[in-house]
Amino acid sequence: MKILGIESSCDETAAAIVEDGFRVLSSVVNSQIDIHAQYGGVVPEIAARSHIEVINPVIREALTRAQCSWDDIDAIAVTYAPGLVGSLLVGTLAARTLAILRNKPLYAIHHVEAHVYANFITESNGSTLQLPSKQPEFPLLALIVSGGHTQLVLFHGHGDYELLGQTQDDAVGEAFDKVAKILGLPYPGGPSITAAAEHGDPEKYHLPKAKLDNPYNFSFSGLKTAVLRAVQHAVGKDFTFPSHELPRLVNDVQRADFAASFQRVAVETLVERTLRAYSDFAPRSVVIAGGVAANQELRRQLSARLPIAIEYAPMKFCTDNAVMIATLGFFHAQYGTPADPYALDVVPSLSMVNTAWNSAKVL
């Protein structure tokens, strides 16, 4: 069964074709990072306009690269939640139109849940990507870490999962992005902090770890503020000094040490909560998902400290893409119900645990 996946929830326009929920036939991602980098973050109006310009060519290219005609496609899967409303609308309207014109079932996919399904890809035609050797097994513990989300979710089966804990304020990716801005490192902050941290001392600055009542919850805004205060202090200024003027006062050694110290604490926090959930729920598999799952330090620490083997999706399937949308679309086609292509609406903010698909509780 071949599923065409379409993704446009933030600043990536993507289309992919995945067969049977594990084999990638094609994946096309048009990133707008260069456009938004000059503003230090995603500008919603620019993102929506850019999606409109490229969505049709991106979908066409996905079909061409997979050597598929429309007759070969069994269903269309599209991100309808969560994300930027203007961005979501472009992909959803394209998918609805194609589903009607080409007479294909349409599946409404939750973007954050789809990140988890990047771990179900075990084959990719014509690529040399290092992929997991097998699909994860249920019960499955997922650490979801992206620009907008930080959650620990326990999956009992497809469409049957519970939220164990989540961030009470900033997402971890957001913390990477904000700390990068304080240090004068380019957007997106994750990769640039990691690069700067390579030359830094992770023990140089002692930054706090949040203590919360629920052992699976997270909080990163205190850590971000602690970095801000420590940087102000390091350059001889007080807490009233504006953060946007800090980058020109921080030297390269300080920048590297702050990046490494922040990354260490952020990653340790993620790993400690995941280990706690692992020992409490004894899942058969653990996966990490979302843009921050590309972080090498997170992978290194988890592999070292988890008592079971963990496999990782390649970086290009961790950041936003349509492969994960098509993969989850396959499982919707097996166990779920198609959406109405005349009525499917976008939902800019919706927790994955509240989707209609999850209440299906199918094993």
Q: Hey, which residues between 119 and 158 contact ligand KG4 (CB under 6 A)?
A: 146-148
Q: Which is nearer to ligand KG4, 23 or 299 (CB)?
A: 299
Q: Which of 87, 167, 274, 319 binds ligand KG4 (CB under 6 A)?
A: 319
- Give the amino acid at 184: G
Q: Work out what residue 190 binds among ligand KG4, Zn ion, none; the CB cut-off runs from 5 to 8 Å by kind.
A: ligand KG4
- Closer residue to ligand KG4 (CB): 91 or 105: 91
Write the CB contacts of 222 (distance below 8 Å, at least 6 apart in sequence). 208, 210
Burial classification of residue 3, based on how many CB atoms lie within 10 Å of its CB (0-12 exposed, 13-18 middle, 19 or more buried): buried
Q: Which of residues 138-157 bind Zn ion (CB under 5 A)?
A: 146
Q: Site residues for Zn ion, window 76-95 (CB under 5 A)?
A: none
Nearer CB in complex with ligand KG4: 5/188: 188
Of residues 305-334, those binding Zn ion (CB under 5 A): 320
Question: Interface residues for ligand KG4 in 173-202 (CB under 6 A)?
Answer: 173, 176-177, 188-191, 194
Q: How far is the CB of 194 from ligand KG4 (least distance, A)?
A: 5
Contact stretch for ligand KG4 (CB under 6 A) within 214-222, 248-256, 286-294, 349-357: 286-294
Least distance to ligand KG4, CB of residue 213, Å: 26
Location of structure tokens 């592999």: 303
What letter represents residue 195's amino acid?
A
Angstrom distance (rounded) from CA 288 to CA 193: 19
Can you give the length of the chain in residues?
A: 363
Distances 48 to 60, 88, 140, 291, 294 between C-alpha atoms, Å = 19, 8, 35, 20, 25
| 160 vs 320, beta carbon nearer Zn ion | 320
Size of the site for ligand KG4 (CB under 6 A): 19
Q: In what order do the strands lie in the sheet with 160-166?
A: 160-166, 150-157, 140-145, 285-289
Three state DSSP letters for 178-227: HHHHHHCCCCCHHHHHHHHHCCCCCCCCCCCCCCCCCCCCECCHHHHHHH
- As given in the structure block, the two tokens for residue 120 are 């179900």
Among 231, 288, 294, 326, binds ligand KG4 (CB under 6 A): 294
CB of 291 to Zn ion, least distance (A): 6
Helix (H, G, I), strand (E, B) or coil at 113: helix
- Residue 294 beta carbon to ligand KG4: minimum distance, rounded to whole angstroms: 4
Residue with tokens 């997991």: 132
Residues of span 1-30 touching ligand KG4 by CB under 6 A: 10
- Among 32-40, 122-130, 289-297, 340-348, the segment contacting ligand KG4 (CB under 6 A): 289-297
| Span interacting with ligand KG4, options 17-25, 51-59, 121-129, 287-295, rule CB under 6 A | 287-295
Q: Which stretch binds ligand KG4 (CB under 6 A): 17-25, 211-219, 291-299, 304-312?
A: 291-299
Is residue 270 within 8 A of residue 123, CB to CB? The reply is: no
Size of the site for Zn ion (CB under 5 A): 2
> Residue 51: CB partners within 8 Å, gap ≥ 6?
8, 13, 86, 87, 90, 91
Binding residues for ligand KG4, rule: CB under 6 A, are 10, 146-148, 173, 176-177, 188-191, 194, 290-292, 294-295, 319-320
Which residues in this chain contact Zn ion in the complex, by CB under 5 A?
A: 146, 320
